[in-house]
Amino acid sequence: MEKASISRRKFLKNLGLAGAGVLMASSPWLSAFAESDKTSRYKVKIGIIGPGSRGQFLMSFLTKNPKADIVALCDIYQPSIDEALKLAPKARVYRDYRALLDDPNVDAVVITTPLDRHYEMAMAALDAGKDLFCEKTLCYTLAQCYEVYQKHISTGRILFVGQQRLFDPRYITVMKMIHDGTFGSINAIRAYWYRNNNWRREAPPELDELRNWRLYKQHSKGLMTELACHQLQTGTWALRQIPNKVMGHGAITYWKDGRTVYDNISCIYVFDSGVKMTYDSVISNKFYGLEEKILGSKGTVEPEKGKYYFEETEPAAAFVRLINDIEHDIFDAVPFAGTSWEPESANENKGEYILGKSPKEDGTSLMLEAFVEAVISQKQPERVTEEAYYSSALSLLGHQALEEERVVTFPDEYKLNYLNHVHNPILK
Amino acid sequence: MQQLFRQIDKDRELVYAWFEAMHTRIDLVLWDTGEADRLSCAVQAIEEETRRIERMGSRFLPYSEVSRINDAAPGCPVCVSDELCALLARCLDYRQRWGGLFDVTACEGVSCRLEEQRLSVCAPYVARADETVRIDLSGCLKGYALDRAVSLLRKQGIGNGLLSFGNSSVFALGNHPKGEGWLVAEADSPDRRHVLHDECLTTSGNNTGSRRHIVHPLTGRMVEGRHTASVVTRSGEEGEVLSIVKFLSDSLSASFQDKAETGCIRLNQKK
């Protein structure tokens, strides 16, 4: 039997066909691809600021995109430049990001520097008239995030933040199901990311802080800004609500190696309805990995695993296969006919794959394609920046709650006109 | 009931809905052009109709119409709906037509002679002949509900779907979104495939050697042995009756125990 996979091309094809009424309602930022058939003759010239490991990872996708050309690189760490040049050998190299921003040959910039550098670079990039892709977390403080967001609005430049789940077919598909009520009322989200490593890169002492910036408070807010930021956004996407309170605790319990960021954190985010989203991360045990368990009255979603489960009668495996076949243009027989099904023959609840099979890639590639399309069309996709703004805001407020060991309420002055939030221009 | 929606393409929507009723599971895949709400309303209507029929005809529900008949004293007429009377009247016809092999009053330990009148149906009244009579519509109620579901869909203008009532009664309405008709394979023998178009595939029997749940009306004994019989018909009710008749006919054959399946017969000659 023919087996088809849900390739990006197929996914995009589906988006093009189905976009207007179906997935767009849950993921309006997919409008970025609305004109992708008409933009093949364009090429966006991109500069990379901080092409370290994450920057090179993003470059590996951009170099495969015929509509993107990496024309400039900027870093103060030569080994990063050397590696990045292997991916973009014709790129001009800068030591100062301001010089890269002055380069008129650069249309858009990608910022993948340590978190504490994002603000000044992002503001400068937008002021220089460049479209901007900034890795998450958007900025080191909520006030900075707000300023960058407002700068994006006032300059009209494109702004994307590296929240790849927004473009992950698993998440897009299952959020549609959640919003359709397939899993009933969502009353809890349990997000976590567990690792078992010191998160430290090899570096001589004089370069330790530069290379291991994630471990030091002056550069990063550790697990909250480097890991939680991705996952907290799942909660607002699923519930279409911003939680207004957060409490939690953080500590260094295992990696007592001179780092100043926590290696053990727990937060509780509270939505106005009383629904809670918990977030835990430790980096001294990896058994449970990472997940955002979305708990509904009719079912459970584990988007990272790519699966969902129903509380009572499961969907029939043969029928799930049938609809997956249909999605993949396959006309084939499904084996289920026989003598009458009896309840006692029901098996253990193993769940179903959201896309019909185990996930193999996240949304990074599509996210970068969307950015390139947005730069070409000069149309900011709806809600993509607001979702990212709030992901950053929630991770920063969570960190504040850990630091201050108190319940932190979302400050009114940093609210946007988004979902359950209303912006008050008098406050800011 | 739970539902999953999928967009087939820009014009066509699909819904997969499932629920438990009639002591089994019901799986429905429907597709159509237009709004998903229309499909959602259709599957909800099917669920309501299925539960209504269960409340009417299940002997396991203490307040069903059938239970009221079974609980009444022998010979005492019970007033029931015209719908149930009509269904029981058809069952009596099937009994006569198939030499007593289909009998909704069959009961383990009781041999039912064909010439014996076990049930009196005179709308709106039904009466049992004696204490040994207990109406059990398990042999046709799913098929009847399936026909009602198909009828509901046609009235709503939905012309394509695959409807499974307990896997044993499967109606293929119209076409698969990507082909003509629907392809259905048997769970125990996936190589045995059936192309169905506005047809019902019904299977009766014992899918394992240990399962025994069908009483032979003429002997009053449970039929034992791994064996199934399938038929393809135009209606679910007819399919249930004929698959049981075929299964019981097979059971009289010497090769019954050696041959798990006898193959499917098509009883719906297309014109």
Q: Specify the CATH number for the domain of residue A178.
A: 3.30.360.10
**CA-based nearest residue in chain B for residue A313:** B19
| Domain shared by A129 and A208, yes or no | no
| Exposure string for A329-349, b = 16+ CB within 10 A, e = fewer | ebbbbbbbbbbbbeeeeeeee
Q: Does residue A71 lie in a domain region?
A: yes
Burial B173-190 (b: 16+ CB within 10 A, else e): bbbbbeeebbbbbbbbee
Same domain, A91 and A144: yes
Cβ–Cβ gap B205/A336 under 8 Å: no
A299 at the B interface (CB within 8 A)? Answer: yes
First to last CA, chain B: 38
Residues A151 and A171 in one domain: no
CB-CB contact of A395 with A246 (8 Å): no
Residues A45 and A186 in one domain: no
Considering only CB atoms, B14 lies closest to which of A17, A326, A335, namely: A326
In a domain, A17, yes or no: no
Do the domain assignments include residue A121?
Answer: yes
pLDDT recorded at residue B179: 93
The A residues from 228 to 257 touching B (CB cutoff 8 Å) are: none
- Is residue B164 scored above 60 in pLDDT? yes
| For residue B190, pLDDT beyond 70 | yes
- Would the CB atoms of A315 and B16 count as touching at under 8 Å? yes
The answer to whether position A261 is within a domain reads: yes
Answer yes or no: is pLDDT of B251 > 50: yes
* % of chain B exceeding 90 in pLDDT: 61
- For A407, residues 6+ apart whose C-beta sits below 8 A from its C-beta are A245, A246, A247, A401
Could you say which DSSP state residue B271 is in? -
Q: CA-to-CA distance for B244 and B169, rounded, in angstroms?
A: 12
Residue A221 and residue A294 in one domain = yes
CA A266 to chain centre: 20
Q: Which residue has the tokens 């506005």?
A: B198
> Which residues of A are less than 8 Å from B167 in CB distance?
336-341
Find tokens 């990507």 and name the residue: B178
Pair A93, A229 in one domain: no
pLDDT at residue number A353: 84
- The two tokens of residue B233 are 């018909």
Same domain, A207 and A299: yes
| ipTM (interface pTM) | 0.89
* Interchain proximity A331–B6, CB inside 8 Å: no
Kindly report which listed range (A303-307, B205-209, B254-258) carries the lowest average pLDDT score. Answer: B254-258
To the nearest whole Å, the CA of B124 is away from the closest chain A CA by: 31
Residue type, B166: G
Strand partners, A196: A284
Residue A2, pLDDT score: 38
CATH number at residue B255: 3.10.520.10
Closest chain A C-alpha to B78 CA, distance in angstroms:
31
Q: Which residues of B touch A177 (CB under 8 A)?
A: 4-5
* Environment class of B111 (CB within 10 Å of its CB; exposed 0-12, middle 13-18, buried 19+): middle
Which residues in A lie closer than 8 A to residue B194 (C-beta atoms)?
337
Same domain as A177, residue A144:
no
Write the single-letter amino acid at B161.
G
Q: What residues in chain A have per-residue pLDDT under 70?
A: 1-22, 342-348, 427-428
Output the pLDDT for position A3: 36
Count of the separate structural domains present in chain B: 1
What residues pair up with A352 in beta bridges, in sequence order?
Answer: A308
- Measured in angstroms, the CA of A302 and the nearest CA of chain B are apart by 16
**Sheet with B78-79, edge to edge strand ranges:** B78-79, B125-128, B119-122
- A22 located within any domain: no
Verify that A55 and A174 share a domain, yes or no. Answer: no
Q: Which of B2, B14, B141 would best serve as a mutation to test chain A binding (most A beta carbons within 10 A)?
A: B2
Q: Does A343 touch chain B (CB under 8 A)?
A: yes
Question: What domain count does chain A have?
Answer: 2
- B15 to chain A, closest Cα gap in Å: 9
- Please tell me whether residues A155 and A174 are part of one structural domain: no
Partner residue opposite A17 with nearest CB, options B10, B184, B188:
B10
Query: Does A21 map to a domain?
Result: no
pLDDT confidence of residue B268: 47
Query: Does one domain contain both A203 and A146?
Result: no
Provide the pLDDT for residue A212: 95
Kindly tell me if the per-residue pLDDT of B261 is higher than 70. no
| CB spacing of A337 vs B29 below 8 angstroms | no
What is the pLDDT at residue B17?
Answer: 95
Q: What pLDDT does residue A342 have?
A: 66
CA distance B62 to chain A (A): 20
Give residue B269's pLDDT.
38
How far off is chain B from A1, nearest CA to CA, in Å? Answer: 12
Containing structural domain, residue A373: 27-164+366-378
**What domain range includes position B85?**
1-271
Q: Global pTM?
A: 0.76
Inspect the interface and report whether the beta carbons of B164 and A338 lie closer than 8 Å.
Answer: no
Cβ neighbours of B16 in A, within 8 Å: 315, 319-320, 322-323
Do A250 and A326 lie in one domain? The reply is: yes
Q: What is the pLDDT of residues B71-112, one digit of tens each?
A: 999 999 999 999 999 999 999 999 999 999 999 998 888 888
